Structure 1
Amino acid sequence: MSSKRDYYEVLGVARTATDDELKKAYRALARKLHPDVNKEPDAEAQFKDLSEAYEVLSNAQKRQIYDRHGHQGLRAGGGGGGPAGAEGFPFGDIGDILESFFGGGVQGGRPGASRGSDLRTQLELTFEEAVFGCEKELEIPRWENCLICDGSGAEPGKPPTRCT
């Protein structure tokens, strides 16, 4: 699709829109355009365009690229189109859609990074493994409270002491 509409136009917001304004516009239009609610023949295509626009503009890095280079900048950046048949539709399933509406399951809309989002690992694959697939065993570090003090650092039966 070479003649894509401007993402700001799709969402009906100004180029200076805040994250909250983007979210509010997206939610209102998503309720109106969702194919389960809107039975118009082009509702699904409009909803996909809306979702794609929100996915780009709600991501600071993608928004910056889009603001500088438009749709062409996003294609050049290798943003990918997802699985076959889902091009331009940034959600994998209904859970992803609900998470975008309500701020995500356990986090309850809490701002900041989710627990474990800072964990990184390096995985080496041969060309054949990358092309044909493989199974690898990974060791993932995790925090675990001590069974004796439950993470307080205190000896059993004694109150925790403040470090000096």
Structure 2
Amino acid sequence: MTLMQDHYSRLGVSSTATPELIKAAYRKKATQYHPDKNPSQDAATRFREVQEAYEVLSDAERRKAFDDYRQRSLIEDPMPVAREISAKYIQGIIH
């Protein structure tokens, strides 16, 4: 099963983040992963992921649809979503 990408975690913000906070987080991450500034081989991929997350979360209609889908996913099939959340939590503690 392919899990949905969590745009909020991509930008490092909570699901209650304001549009201003989302924009600031996007700018920070975009600068961090921009291929011209980051020599890492996965920089371009990470940059595109950050762009996609911002495109969804900065548009009110797309953000609402994303939030609705996230909530349905957790209700309909909670185990994969719970595993993904716990893995990200543990990863955050380790780093």
TM-score by length of 2: 0.69
Letter in 2 for 1:18: T
- Say whether 1:63 aligns with 2:59: no
> 1:49, CA displacement in angstroms?
0.5
Greater relative contact order, per chain length (Cα 8 Å cut-off, separation 6+): 2
* Rg comparison, structure with higher value: 1
Seen in structure 2, the aligned counterparts of structure 1 residues 57 and 12 have a Cα distance that, compared at 3 Å, is: same
Percent sequence identity over matched residues?
43
Letter in 2 for 1:9: S
> 1:35, CA displacement in angstroms?
0.6
Partner of 1:10: 10
Partner of 2:23: 23
**Structure with greater helix percent:** 2
Q: Which runs of 4+ in 1 moved over 6 A?
A: none
Partner of 2:74: none
Partner of 1:47: 47
> 1:3, CA displacement in angstroms?
3.5
Give the CA RMSD over aligned residues: 1.5
Corresponding residue SS for 1:45: helix
TM-score by length of 1: 0.41
